[in-house]
Amino acid sequence: MAYPRDIVHCYGQLASTMAQMVVLAQAKNWGALPAVEAQCAAIVDRLRAIEPTVALGPADAAEAQRLIVCIQADQAIVNGLVKPQLERLMENMSVLQQRKSLDKAYGQAH
């Protein structure tokens, strides 16, 4: 059985983990992001499992809402940092695919 504080605790964990993702993204530590994102996903799964079964009182609801605002702000920062990196990666992959097609068409092997 879950308690209201369990939900608030999960949101606190999620906020802390998202803040960690911001630090990693700002440091351009792209390799570490997937593991931390997996932690976020596990916390979200836990929230999905317990949240519908528990009603929050006013104080817990206010704290959860405050944490959600922080989570959303950090998520926007991470998205803003990661999106350009993903776009560059997609461009590089496109160039490599074009080279591969040209090499294949003109019989050059690597």
Give first-to-last CA distance, the chain, whole Å.
59
CA R_g for the chain? 21
pTM above 0.85, yes or no: no
Q: How does pLDDT run along the chain (110 residues), one tens digit per residue?
A: 678 889 999 999 999 999 999 999 999 999 999 999 999 999 999 999 988 888 889 999 999 999 999 999 999 999 999 998 877 778 878 778 888 887 888 876 55
For the domain spanning 4-105, the CATH number is 1.20.58.380
SS3 71: helix
Cβ–Cβ under 8 Å, residues 54 and 2: yes
Instruction: Answer for the pair 78, 25: CB distance below 8 angstroms, yes or no.
Output: yes
65 φ/ψ angles, rounded to the nearest 5 degrees = -65, -40
